[in-house]
Amino acid sequence: MNPAANTYVEETGFGFWFLQSHVWQHHVLRVAINDLKSLAGANVPAAPVVLDAGCGQGKSFKLLQHAFAPSQLIGLDADPQSLQCSQTEASNAGIDVQLVSSDCAAINLADASVDILFCHQTFHHLVEQDQALAEFYRVLKPGGLLLFAESTRFYIDTWVIRWLFRHPMHVQKTAEQYLQMLHQQGFEFSPAQVSYPYLWWSRAKDFGLLERLRLRKPKPTGERDETLVNVVARKPVEVHR
């Protein structure tokens, strides 16, 4: 058994395959990174140290390299098979990546060693979410950015997702609860650093089919159960803890 198996829920076989797919790379990863970069605006530091927390099979490496031009790129995951895939992905792309075998709830990196921490669709797999967020805060430098992109329980707790994937259902949260959690940890962000994508794949009941056929108008933000939340949160320069 994986030694970290009690702190996160592993992917199903279908989930592992899906994370290699064009849909995942083009419609999920690419869209999220572009949105997070836009939310960060001019706050992105030059030549940052970037940590991909829960890097999976490394499909984000080229996208992060292109978006942020990091001086150092670190991929962290607790699953040995995923890290092997990440190494292959980095080698094939000619990208220098430091791979770390570590759980998000106990990150094997020094305090204040990271400028940008990218956490994309990882948090809903974690059992020890409070500890993981505290670790994110610890390894970020003062002024560092957490790029947080997550599915909410309104997406995770649908029949198709429960059938195809595996998650710790007792820790799933709404968008508002995730934002509150970030605030409670000490992260700072304004409404301008938050977005609520309402993408077709996140609407598991009908995948937005009725709207694409123009048989129904999409509900605006504030009148719907948000399925996704993206946040660019900042660790304060002056930390009062």
List, for residues 93-109, the tens digit of each pLDDT value: 999 999 999 999 999 99
Q: What is the pLDDT of residue 2?
A: 42
Asked if the structure places residue 68 within a domain, the reply is yes
Give the range of the structural domain holding residue 86, as residue numbers without chain letter: 13-234
Mean pLDDT of 168-175: 89
What total of structural domains would you count in the chain? 1
112 sits in the region (left: phi over 0; alpha: psi -120 to 50; else beta) called left
Residues 27 and 228: their CA atoms lie apart, in Å, by: 13
CATH code of the domain in which 91 resides: 3.40.50.150
Chain segment 61-88, per-residue pLDDT in tens: 999 999 999 999 999 999 999 999 999 9
CB contact at 8 A, 32 and 40: no
pLDDT on residue 212: 55
CA distances from 172 to 11, 87, 169 (A): 16, 30, 6
pLDDT bucket at 14, cuts 50 / 70 / 90: confident
Q: Is residue 5 part of a domain?
A: no
Residue 226 pLDDT exceeds 90? no
Examine residue 8 and state whether it is found in any structural domain, yes or no: no
For the entire predicted model, the pTM comes to 0.87
Q: Distance from CA of residue 192 to its chain's centroid?
A: 19
pLDDT of 1 above 70:
no
Q: Which long-range contacts (CB under 8 A, 24 or more apart) does 188-193 make?
A: 188/233, 188/234, 188/235, 188/236, 189/231, 189/232, 189/233, 189/234, 192/39, 193/39, 193/40, 193/231, 193/232, 193/233
